[in-house]
Amino acid sequence: MTTEQLPDEHWNAFYTEHEQIWSGKPNVAFVDEVSGLTPGRVLDLGCGEGADAIWLAERGWTVTAVDISTVALGRAVAHAKAAGVGDRIDWQQHELGKSFPDGEFDLVSAQFLHSKTELARDAILRRAAAAVAPGGVLLIEGHLGFPPGEHNPHPDIHFPEPDEVIESLALPDGEWETLVSRVHDRAQVLRDGVPINRRDCTVKLRRH
Ligand SMILES: C[S@@+](CC[C@H](N)C(=O)[O-])C[C@H]1O[C@@H](n2cnc3c(N)ncnc32)[C@H](O)[C@@H]1O
């Protein structure tokens, strides 16, 4: 793989570099896709500093949110408490691929679950599909490349197109409906304030 660090060391070092990494706002495409769903039980995989999980809890979802990084989770807990939804979110530390939360969920969300270190992404997303309750939704948002100008591109990391994501889930025939499978561009503001464009993809599937 691309770095000698263990995955949890890599991500804790990543988060420790700055007091805050992400914007504190929920992901835009995520909000678009989830806004029409009826709140229920949701699992957020790779929740980072918790903005999506907090947004969900504020809208009545019962949230389980997972990350490998204890640094990110510590921030997420504090933000949820400040937002008044600390009691609606079960934060869990897992190295997904090695362990996975129990239960089934009306929505399982994986927003930009990418890593420059070891990540069994396909296997994790298959496990995610298995955790979706009948009638529930699996929502996967991914990048389709590194940010423009990234100094150290990692050619061994693959960013799958929507069709590849769906194929790699190996879903049983007839059990799932594809609601969204699309590529889209997104304007993003980096921490230093320089706006750049990212090309992302959305896969949204419903289990019958
Ligand atoms: C690119 S960030 C996205 C964070 C958040 N979902 C968002 O959209 O802002 C990827 C997140 O996945 C987490 N992560 C990476 N590998 C993981 C693993 N094996 N198990 C659990 N979380 C992991 C990282 O710690 C990081 O918070």
Cβ–ligand 1 distance for 96 under 6 Å, the answer yes
Sketch the domain layout of the chain as residue ranges: 27-207
Q: How many CA atoms lie within 13 A of 91 on its CB side?
A: 26
Instruction: With beta carbons less than 8 A apart as the criterion, state whether 54 and 89 touch.
Output: yes
Which residue type occupies 81?
A: K
Largest CA distance in the chain: 47
The per-residue pLDDT for range 152-204, each reduced to its tens digit, is 667 778 899 999 999 999 999 999 999 999 999 987 656 567 777 889 999 99
The per-residue pLDDT for range 88-141, each reduced to its tens digit, is 999 999 999 999 999 999 999 999 999 989 899 999 999 999 999 999 999 999
The total number of residues written for the chain in this structure: 208
CA–centroid distance, 60 to ligand 1, in Å, is 23
Cβ–ligand 1 distance for 50 under 6 Å, the answer no
28: helix, coil or strand? helix
**Nearest atom (ligand 1) to Cα of 22:** 9
- Candidates 2.40.160.10, 3.30.1780.10, 3.40.50.150, 3.30.413.10; CATH matching 27-207: 3.40.50.150
Distance CA 90, CA 203 (A): 25
CA–centroid distance, 177 to ligand 1, in Å, is 26
**Nearest atom (ligand 1) to Cα of 51:** 9
> pTM (2 decimals)?
0.95
Q: With both helix axes pointing from N to C terminus, report the angle between 7-16 and 70-83 in degrees, rounded to the nearest 10.
A: 50
Distance CA 49, CA 16 (A): 12
